[in-house]
Chains A and B, each alone.
Chain A
Amino acid sequence: GESVGLHLPTLSVQEGDNSIINCAYSNSASDYFIWYKQESGKGPQFIIDIRSNMDKRQGQRVTVLLNKTVKHLSLQIAATQPGDSAVYFCAENSLYGGSQGNLIFGKGTKLSVKP
């Protein structure tokens, strides 16, 4: 079956360093991926998305890389700040019948930024 998972459940980085959060997906036919940030007690916040016709997409201090060969997605955060501390989820689109447009979420990686 299809699944979305993460290599590392927790990540601790020093303020100012770059962070890399990884995600593996199993459905090679998935063509849309999203990264979300969730702070404690709040709903997930959209960070960045990427379609399968791209390998890389950049936003403000964030970059998403997609490697379709090994079905791997990563989120890079440059110059990590204390405000980046949160749980980060990746999600892929569901391609099955009437559920198109739905997302399948991974379990999340908790990022802790040390001052």
Chain B
Amino acid sequence: DGGITQSPKYLFRKEGQNVTLSCEQNLNHDAMYWYRQDPGQGLRLIYYSQIVNDFQKGDIAEGYSVSREKKESFPLTVTSAQKNPTAFYLCASNDRGGNQPQHFGDGTRLSIL
């Protein structure tokens, strides 16, 4: 079945460590997104990419980095500069052209050791 796969489901980060969250989609979507979700909060946009080899900062990009070398993949790195990384991270994708629903993966929960 087509879909979005995020891994790992749970991730722990040590002080000063960078960690990378994986997001893969086989929906042939051009656009991909990373969101952060905190308890009782809506989704906040970290980074997005509308085409391979191009990406843009969202509302809360500080302390995060991404790459988009392949259409299917949009990994997110949470760097040591992100001082409050504990959250639920969601990846999504959709077709370009506007007014298309985003389809989500099942998230990665990141915690601090």
How many CB-defined contacts (below 8 Å) exist between A and B? 57
| Min CB gap A64→B, angstroms | 13
> Is there contact, CB below 8 Å, between A44 and B94?
no
Given contacts A49-B101, A99-B56, contact A43 B50 (CB under 8 A): no
CB contact between A101 and one of B43, B58, B100, B107 (< 8 Å): that residue: B100
| Min CB gap A10→B, angstroms | 11
Cβ of A89 within 8 Å of any chain B Cβ, yes or no, is: yes
Q: Mark B96-107, 1 if CB is under 8 A from A, else 0.
A: 111111111111
- Write 23 A-B pairs (CB below 8 A) sorted by A numbering: A32-B98, A32-B99, A34-B102, A36-B104, A41-B106, A41-B109, A43-B4, A43-B6, A43-B105, A44-B43, A44-B90, A45-B104, A46-B102, A93-B98, A93-B99, A98-B56, A101-B94, A101-B98, A101-B99, A102-B33, A102-B58, A106-B42, A107-B41
**Chain B interface (Cβ < 8 Å from any Cβ of A):** 4, 6, 31, 33, 40-43, 45, 48, 50, 56, 58, 90, 92, 94, 96-107, 109
Q: Name 4 extra pairs, CB < 8 A, besides A101-B99, A101-B100.
A: A31-B99, A42-B106, A101-B97, A102-B58
